[in-house]
Chain A
């Protein structure tokens, strides 16, 4: 699946997107964050306050307990400040 990062999440991780293949035990957005954090310091920095991070699956907002099965694109970003 493709991951996309925006605003300071993108800056902290150091890339706008990547393609990943999480192990079968990773089934929710919350578990995906835990798995990403274990990948390195840049991820740990981006997700240091995981409850602050918003997520979207295939362009729709989701809560962190959402299942990721079948997702094509998952995005992580800070609370939005548009308008």
Chain B
């Protein structure tokens, strides 16, 4: 199985159907495609927000996501993984992140998508800043995101 991994970081929105088609094109062995889309909420900790601004570490972010996608490819029987993560200013209702996994059967595709998202939340070098009526502030990391990522660590 050749590694079919695509990782993109971009300011512009993505088209979910097109990303799925890009992963599954010209294949008849795929039986399951799972896609997860992270969307910008209109409130943070109970307060309305105007927008999120996402900053990333260029170079490291792409490399880290690709490295973990390779880990997922070796851990589950996958045909491919596609990750698109937006940066810059994102308003409520807009897409933030997309993970698509393709496999012969659903279990591997579901698990690998969750693994990739848990990893992205806790370990990919991105930072969110909230813009609200009262000003701007950086979102604090959540312990449960670290715990979610840690549960995939093999003992």
Query: Do they bind each other?
Result: yes
A4 CA to B60 CA in the complex, in Å?
12
Closest CB in chain B relative to A31 CB, distance in Å: 22
Contact B57 A77 (CB under 8 A): yes
A80 within 8 A of B: yes
How many chain A residues touch the partner (CB < 8 A)?
16
Interface footprint category on B: 20 to 34
Chain B, range 19-66, C-beta contacts under 8 Å to A: 38, 54-57, 59-61, 63-64
Contact A80 B59 (CB under 8 A): no
Given A82-B54, A83-B124, are A7 and B129 also a contact pair (CB < 8 Å)?
yes
Chain A residues with CB under 8 Å of B88's CB are: none
A77 CA to B127 CA in the complex, in Å?
9
Interface-central residue, A4, A61, A82, by most chain B CB under 10 Å: A82
Chain B residues with CB under 8 Å of A78's CB are: 127, 138, 141
Contact A81 B139 (CB under 8 A): yes
Chain A residues with CB under 8 Å of B56's CB are: 82
Contact B117 A82 (CB under 8 A): no
Contact B59 A82 (CB under 8 A): no
Given A6-B57, A56-B60, A59-B63, are A82 and B138 also a contact pair (CB < 8 Å)?
no
Contact B125 A6 (CB under 8 A): yes
A residues sitting closer than 8 Å to B (CB atoms) are 4, 6-8, 56, 59-61, 75, 77-83
